[in-house]
Amino acid sequence: MLFLRQVLTITAKDLRSELRTKEALNASLAFALVILLLFSFAFDANPEMMREISGGLLWLAFAFAGALILNRSFARELVNDCLDALISSPVPGAALFLGKVLANYVLLLGIEVVCLPIFGVFYNVRWAQQPLWLALVLILATWGVCVVGTIFSALTVNLRLRELMLPMLVYPMLIPCLMAAMMLTTPLLAGQPIEGDLFAWLRLLVGFDIIFTSLAVVLIDTVLIG
């Protein structure tokens, strides 16, 4: 119980400071919209084309937007040595980590929920035909992105060129998760439910989330403290 309260305290702290300054949120949302706009120049957005690539487009935009949020997650604590204060506080490393993951998760899910209808309007996609399945895929894949992204945010926080290192290390690591999300989202946006072979991708997402959440919780003390 205490652990859960510690996690939620960290989440609340992060969300509060983010919602007051909105520095990562605004940048990330604007970036996602710019990417969605840029895609329109890359190809002719006719319905057949969109049926094939809509999932890929969306998740690329989400992954790019996510990197901006994840970059700030631990970098925010560098000013005034807040990170040292957090590490020396009674909160265990795992609670600190999960709290931050949860805060990033809420922010990124928020951005995705805002982007989806805009994407639907811009590219003439009726995205809400399978709302429950789509919600499940967003929930699972965004968790994967946030868990891997947050541990790398902690890993790269003290490095030179931090903003460059994070995406360079995170994206290859996220490929299984992003690929599964893309494969599932494309048929869902076209109105087909998840069935048959597609369940394999859902299993991959669940497996990815479980394995990386446990690995990250085990390794976070090594990353933060030494």
Partner 1 sequence: MREKTLYGLGALAIALLTHNIWKMLVNLPDEAFQGAIFRIIFFHVPAAFTCFTCFLVSLIAGISYLKTRDLKWDALGVSTTEVGLAFGAANLLTGMIWARIIWGIWWTWDWRLTSMLICWLLYGGYLVLRRAIEEPTERARLSAVMSILSFSVVPFVFFSIKWFRTQHPQPVLYGEGKMDSGYRAMLFGNWVPILMIAIVLVAVRMMQERRQREVDALRRSAHAF
Binding-site ranges for partner 1 (CB under 8 A): 151, 155-156, 158-161, 165, 168-169, 172-173, 175-176, 197, 200, 204, 207-208, 211-212, 215, 219, 222-223, 226
> Around Cβ 71, how many Cβ atoms within 10 Å?
25
User: Rounded to whole angstroms, how far apart are CA atoms 203 and 150?
Assistant: 22
Q: How far is the CB of 16 from partner 1 (least distance, A)?
A: 30
Q: How far is the CB of 52 from partner 1 (least distance, A)?
A: 14
**With b meaning 16 or more CB within 10 Å and e meaning fewer, what string describes 147-186?**
bbbbbbbbbbbeeeebeebbbeebeeebebbbbbbbbbbb
Which whole-number Å values give the CA distances from 88 to 44, 95, 112, 168, in the listed order?
54, 13, 34, 30
Decide whether 78 or 132 has the Cβ nearer to partner 1.
78
Euclidean distance between the first and the last CA atom of the chain, given in angstroms as a whole number = 27
Q: How far is the CB of 206 from partner 1 (least distance, A)?
A: 12
Decide whether 35 or 165 has the Cβ nearer to partner 1.
165
Taking a C-beta distance cutoff of 8 angstroms, is the pair 149, 66 a contact? yes
Name the one residue in this structure whose structure tokens are 């990197």: 67
Q: How far is the CB of 198 from partner 1 (least distance, A)?
A: 10
Decide whether 128 or 199 has the Cβ nearer to partner 1.
199
Q: How far is the CB of 211 from partner 1 (least distance, A)?
A: 6
Dihedral sign from CA coordinates of 128, 173, 216, 18: negative
Q: Which residues contact 130 (CB under 8 A, 6 or more apart)?
A: 188, 191, 192, 193, 194
Decide whether 8 or 165 has the Cβ nearer to partner 1.
165
Decide whether 100 or 119 has the Cβ nearer to partner 1.
100
Decide whether 46 or 158 has the Cβ nearer to partner 1.
158
Backbone angles phi, psi at 90, to 5 degrees: -70, -10
